Each structure stands twice: as structure tokens, then as C-alpha cells.
Amino acid sequence: MRLGFIGVGNMGGPMANHVVAAGHDLGVYDVRPASVEPLVEAGARRSTSVADAAEGAEAVLLSLPMPSDVEEVVAGDGGLFDALEAGTAILDLTTSSPTLSRELANLGVERGISFLDAPVSGGVYGARKGTLAVMVGGPEDVFATYEPVLACFAAKVVRCGEVGAGNVVKIVNNMLAFINMMGVTEALLLGVKAGVDPLVLREVIQASSGASFVWDSGTRAILRDRLGPSFTTTLAGKDIGLAVDLARELDVPIPMGEHTQGILASYRDNGFAEEDVLATIRSLEGQADFVVRGLAPEAG
């Protein structure tokens, strides 16, 4: 297919690279021109604007930081609604607002342009390896047409329902993950300061009722002290904020979600805005006067 891809940063870049490698004719655009260079070298077309990336495209993929960015790129002046022809589609890989996704989809119907919300899970590592999970909301026929494109960078692509459902699943998943992450940092620090060998603590809990993917991967990263900003506290706060907004819209109580949102906001505003979510354990270590980071480089 002839496609466009807008937003080729830490997540979008690797995903776009897989699309190029699969043989698609891909035009790429980013507000940071340097992000486009590796993709052009890999065979993508350099685009100079949103409209340029959309020219002649059967579909345009988006990977953007915030819902406001999605709204501007899709419905703003010179955006995709102005540039795309009827019969084309927008595949939004951004973790965004389900309400906004539905609003944009409805506007797209008036123009003959389909809209799929298709947020991804698996982080930068999964994007590079092509093993992401993609949660899609939208009509079955549109999903069937573009599922092969999404499969270029995914191990699992699931249609979750109509437009908005993909983002509902994604923000619920992320809310749960961030609640778990905050618990993992506290539990690891408490257990190790109380005198238990960190590898023993990690192994036993992984085989017990406290086990989770977050415990396994999070404790490994902390004990190895490999906490590069693969998912920043700012982005985590944005995602859990979307969950809190949805809960308020539907009048669903989520006290743990709201509490975790407050914790993340505090970390964001106190030096951890651009650091990985798990790197916030440094704050707890300072309060406990005890460091667990790097205690077990062999954790695996």
C-alpha cells in the first residue's frame, strides 16, 4: 500500500521501520526532521508536512504524544481531513481519549474517511522487535483491510469493538500497570531493607500470589539498575489521567487509579518528569535511606 506515517519518534520510528521493511510505500513526517533520517535511509519517502505525508495515501498512521496532537493533526488547518481523499483511513496508534476517537470518527464519516483507534502496548522494546500488541476500535471491514499493516509491527492485533474500544482497553491496561508499578517499587524496597536477599524475594514472589508481569520485568530492571526512560513519568501521568477522566465520565469509582495518578503527578513535578516510571524508586530510596537499585545485576 501507499501509506503515510506521522510521528516517528521513540515508538513511531521503529513501527514505521517495520512498515517500510514489509514493502509498503511509506511517506514519513515528524516535527523533528532528524527523526525522519533513519527511515529515509531505510527506503521511506521524506515528507515535509502532514499534507505531504497524506498525498496519495490509502491510509495514514499516527503515533503522537497527546490527544491534543491527534486532534490538531487530524482536524486542524492543513490536517488529514483536508488532505485525504474519500475512501482512505486514519490509523491512530496514539494512546488517546476514547471520546475524542469517536468524535473524529464521526467527522470522518462525513468526509468518507475511516478512523481506527489502534493504541499499542509493549514499549520501545516491543516496537523495535515488532512484537507489540495492538488494540483496535472500528468497523470490521475497515479493520480487515488494514490489519495486515498493523501486523507489520505486532505479535497480536485484536479488534476490541467499535471506535473508541481500542483506547478503552489500552488506558485500562495502563492504569492497572501503573498501579502495579508503584506497588512493585514499594514492595521490593521494603522486603530487601528488611533483610531478604533480593533474588530470593524476586523468585518467591514470582511463584506466589503477588506475581505479575510488572513484578517480573520491573524488579529485573531495578535490580540491574537499567532504568532508561522507555516510558516517562509524564506519559504515564497522561495515560492514567485518561483513565480517570473516563471513569468520571461514566461515574465509575477508581480510588486506586486516582491515588496512583496523584503519586505520578507528584513524581512528575519533583524531578522525574522525563525519567522512566520505575526510576521514581529513587525517591523512596531517599526517604528509606536504603538503595536497592543495582543490588543484583544478575537478575534475569
Catalytic residues: 170
CA torsion sign for 39, 44, 45, 50 is negative
> Phi/psi zone of residue 202: left (φ > 0), alpha (ψ -120 to 50 degrees), beta?
alpha
Q: Which three cell numbers stand for residue 214?
A: 510488572
Alpha helices in 207-297 (DSSP H): 213-224, 233-250, 255-267, 281-288
Counted residue by residue, the chain has a size of 300
φ/ψ region of 289 (left if φ > 0, alpha if ψ in -120 to 50, else beta) reads left
Residue 171 CA to its chain's centroid (Å): 9
Kindly state the helix (H) or strand (E) to which residue 154 belongs, with its residue range.
strand 154-161
Euclidean distance between CA atoms 285 and 272, whole angstroms: 14
The rounded distance, in Å, linking the Cα atoms of 86 and 109 is 9
Amino acid at 42: A
Q: Are 296 and 223 in contact (CB under 8 A)?
A: yes
